């Protein structure tokens, strides 16, 4: 099957391949465009495998919210140039909508598109965190997406009971900037608490604190640790004279999720 320069150009546009690679693909497949696309994909994937060891700490965090269902997807790449491209951001947004509609496992439906994206953009591209929250009936599900350089870099979903949309949104904003790891101090694993306690005891002893006073000193410092990592213990971002627990009053935070780039 013969092919023309226009066929070569069309194949380049469809695959992001170079001119000579597109021409070779058509020659190798006797002008069959679909077979040439597959040929390029296979060659591109073989090349991208060499890129798998390259750090992909850049990317986009996309968020989708549809009623009481929310999803966050992190799509990773190597450079902020690619992360800010329309094609890359559109893929991340499409993945988030897909997860919101069909569940976290639905990302597998886009495997071919992600492979093609590696070829087109010539970077180590893969999925990071994938989160979906399906809030209970009557609960409030709110979100916050921090945009930097035209792309999402910090996304939060929070489910609350007995809360207004405004209150839930304020909590989502707080989470984005305070970065809690746990909801309550009781959620902090015992081994994490014990490790912190031993560290604080050693620190206090090295500072010359009296041995008899160490338990009380360590307990006080441990409270400071909880204020860093447990959401309800944290000073509220807009009014640090009250904790998040005090700020939300009779409302309840059921769960939250945060996904960031970097």
CATH of the domain at 12: 1.10.8.10
The pLDDT of residue 184: 97
Q: Are residues 150 and 176 in the same domain?
A: yes
CA distance 181 to 193: 13
CA distance 244 to 237: 8
- pTM score: 0.78
The total number of structural domains that make up the chain: 3
Domain range spanning residue 209? 189-229
Q: Are residues 87 and 179 in the same domain?
A: yes
The pLDDT of residue 104: 93
* Pairing, β 252-260 against β 58-66: unpaired
The pLDDT of residue 92: 96
Most confident option among 20-34, 178-192, 207-221:
178-192
Residue with token string 């559109």: 90
User: What is the domain-level CATH number for residue 74?
Assistant: 3.30.479.20
CA distance 221 to 218: 5
How far apart are the two ends of the chain, measured CA to CA in Å? 49
**Contact criterion met (CB below 8 Å) for 8 and 23:** yes
Q: Are residues 114 and 201 in the same domain?
A: no
Q: Are residues 100 and 162 in the same domain?
A: yes
Q: Are residues 220 and 138 in the same domain?
A: no
User: What is the domain-level CATH number for residue 204?
Assistant: 1.10.286.20
**Contact criterion met (CB below 8 Å) for 241 and 141:** no
**Tens digits of per-residue pLDDT, 117-176?**
887 888 888 899 999 999 999 999 999 999 999 999 999 999 999 999 999 999 999 999
Q: Are residues 12 and 126 in the same domain?
A: no
Is the dihedral angle over the CA atoms 45, 51, 55, 60 positive or is it negative?
negative
**Tens digits of per-residue pLDDT, 30-54?**
888 888 878 776 666 334 444 455 6
CA distance 254 to 134: 12
The pLDDT of residue 212 is above 60: yes
**Tens digits of per-residue pLDDT, 50-65?**
445 566 789 999 999 9
Q: Are residues 158 and 250 in the same domain?
A: yes
**Contact criterion met (CB below 8 Å) for 161 and 262:** no
The pLDDT of residue 42: 67
Neighbours of 23 (CB within 10 A): 18
Q: Are residues 122 and 242 in the same domain?
A: yes
Q: Are residues 178 and 149 in the same domain?
A: yes
The pLDDT of residue 45: 34
Q: Are residues 174 and 85 in the same domain?
A: yes
Q: Are residues 160 and 203 in the same domain?
A: no
**Tens digits of per-residue pLDDT, 222-256?**
999 999 999 999 999 999 999 999 999 999 999 99
**Tens digits of per-residue pLDDT, 86-101?**
999 999 999 999 999 9
Q: Are residues 9 and 75 in the same domain?
A: no
């Amino acid at each position: 099957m013969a092919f023309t320069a226009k066929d070569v150009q069309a194949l380049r546009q469809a695959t992001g391949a170079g001119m000579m690679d597109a021409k070779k693909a058509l020659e190798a497949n006797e002008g069959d465009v679909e077979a040439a696309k597959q040929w390029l994909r296979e060659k591109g994937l073989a090349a991208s495998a060499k890129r798998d060891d390259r750090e992909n700490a850049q990317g986009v965090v996309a968020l989708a919210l549809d009623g009481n269902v929310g999803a966050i997807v992190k799509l990773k790449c190597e450079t902020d140039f690619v992360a800010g491209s329309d094609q890359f951001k559109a893929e991340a947004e499409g993945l988030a909508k897909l997860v919101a509609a069909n569940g976290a496992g639905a990302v597998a439906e886009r495997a071919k598109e992600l492979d093609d994206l590696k070829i087109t953009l010539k970077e180590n591209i893969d999925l990071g965190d994938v989160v979906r929250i399906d809030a209970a009936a009557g609960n409030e599900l709110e979100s916050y997406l921090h945009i930097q350089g035209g792309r999402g870099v910090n996304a939060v979903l929070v489910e609350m009971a007995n809360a207004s949309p405004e209150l839930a949104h304020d909590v989502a904003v707080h989470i984005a900037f305070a970065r809690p790891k746990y909801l309550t101090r009781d959620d902090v694993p015992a081994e994490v608490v014990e490790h912190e306690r031993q560290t604080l005891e050693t620190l206090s002893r090295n500072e010359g604190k009296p041995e008899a006073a160490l338990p009380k000193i360590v307990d006080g410092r441990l409270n400071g640790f909880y204020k860093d990592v447990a959401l309800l213990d944290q000073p509220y971002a807009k009014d640090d004279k009250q904790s998040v627990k005090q700020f939300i009053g009779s409302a309840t935070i059921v769960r939250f999720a945060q996904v960031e780039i970097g």
